[in-house]
Amino acid sequence: MADPAAFVIITGLSGAGKSHAIKCFEDMGFFCVDNLPTTLIPTFAELIARSRHDVERVALGVDVREGEYLSHFLEALHELKRRGHAVEVLFFEASDEALIRRYHESRRRHPLGGEGNVRDAIRAERKAMAHMREIADRIVETSSLTVHQLKALLADLYVKPGTRGGLTASLVSFGFKHGIPFDADLVFDVRFLPNPHFVEGLRPLDGRDTRVRDFVLSHDEARELLERLRDLLEFLLPFYQREGKAYLTVAVGCTGGRHRSVTFVEMLLQYLEGLGYTPTVVHRDIDRE
């Protein structure tokens, strides 16, 4: 039988970052459920244990929306530990000023808002959640954290070094006459370069052939463009990764998507692999007429 799943209970004040944290935990490979009634947590753990799927880490969102169920949380917590599950309670909080600002910016209603103002609702929630804060294993204060800083903090706490997922880059060659890839983040146009299509002997080949590559890169403007694209991607990719972007699609287009764009994608692939990235490559239109 597999070892019992480890649970992280995500709780705290509304507006302090719980919802974003649950998304971060999902990105980190946790099985996530938000706002599960506390009385059902032991039953849920039993279903996880019986599942054919190997679930090792679970993140559960528990907050003031639980209402009367919140009073049963301690019982559920003790039951999880009795069954051998490792359990950690993670509590998110922020200053009144930060929470009020976030509610004003999002224009969302506080769960305890009713007919009163946000400040009164925040104070009522602090009182209702005080016992949850007392039993928390870890308290995260998010007043001065951006969503990206919060994601980085959670990754530092809950992802083992060497197992963190990085930026997944995709390189796509395409022909403008067939349309720009719908999922492209960055698009580069190489149609201004001399076209192998009009060179006898190169037309039936594609940009992966050394003869086509040599023709394309025999021109000064092509070599300079390639160098600039390399520098640009080397500069941009770490920042995309730092901002928490999981996927980046770089599309290079020529007229038909068979010669120049394919050569450039192949050259960029070699360069990015040399930087430690493992991009996927798609030559979307290489076999089209």
pLDDT classification of 207: cutoffs 50, 70, 90 = very high
Q: What is the pLDDT of residue 67?
A: 66
- Whether 199 is in a domain gets the answer yes
List the domain range (segments joined by +) for residue 256. Answer: 168-283
Say which DSSP state 116 is in. S
More confident of the two residues 66 and 12: 12
Residues 104 and 237 in one domain: no
- Token readout for 33 is 């459920």
CATH of the domain at 143: 3.40.50.300
Same domain, 142 and 269: no
Residues 27 and 107 in one domain: yes
**pLDDT for the residue numbered 2:** 55
pTM, to two decimals: 0.58
- Per the domain annotation, does 288 fall within a domain? no
Same domain, 10 and 151: yes
Tell which of 138, 158, 178 closes a domain.
158
- Residues 12, 127, single domain; the answer is yes
Domain match, 82 and 23 both: yes
- Name all contacts of 151-159 with Cβ < 8 Å and 24+ positions apart: 151/20, 151/24, 151/27, 151/244, 152/242, 152/244, 154/21, 154/24, 154/25, 154/28, 155/24, 155/28, 158/8, 158/25, 158/28, 158/30, 159/28
| Top-confidence residue, 280 or 264 | 264
DSSP for 159-202, written as a single string: S-TT-----EEEEEEEEGGG---TT-SEEEE-TTSPPGGGSTTT
Provide the pLDDT for residue 27.
Answer: 84
At which of 126, 158, 190 does a domain end? Answer: 158
Q: What is the pLDDT of residues 85-104, one digit of tens each?
A: 889 999 999 999 889 888 88
- Which residue from 71, 45, 75 is spatially nearest to 60, judged by alpha carbons? 45
Distances (CA, A) of 223 to 19, 90, 208, 218: 47, 53, 16, 8
Q: Based on the fold, state whether residues 67 and 139 are members of the same structural domain.
A: yes
Q: Give residue-wise pLDDT tens across range 233-259.
A: 999 999 888 776 777 899 999 999 999
Q: In what order do the strands lie in the sheet with 138-141?
A: 31-34, 57-61, 6-12, 87-93, 138-141
Higher confidence at residue 184 or residue 71? 184
Question: CA-to-CA distance for 55 and 73, rounded, in angstroms?
Answer: 22
In terms of domains, do 147 and 200 share one? no
Question: Cα(251)–Cα(62) distance, rounded to whole angstroms?
Answer: 42
Say whether both 151 and 178 belong to one domain: no
What confidence tens digit (pLDDT) does each residue in 126-166 have? Answer: 988 888 899 899 999 998 888 878 887 888 788 765 545 56
Classify residue 191: in a domain, yes or no: yes
| Average pLDDT rounded to a whole number, residues 43-63 | 83
What's the confidence (pLDDT) of residue 52? Answer: 62
What confidence score (pLDDT) does residue 269 get? 95
Number of domains in the chain: 2
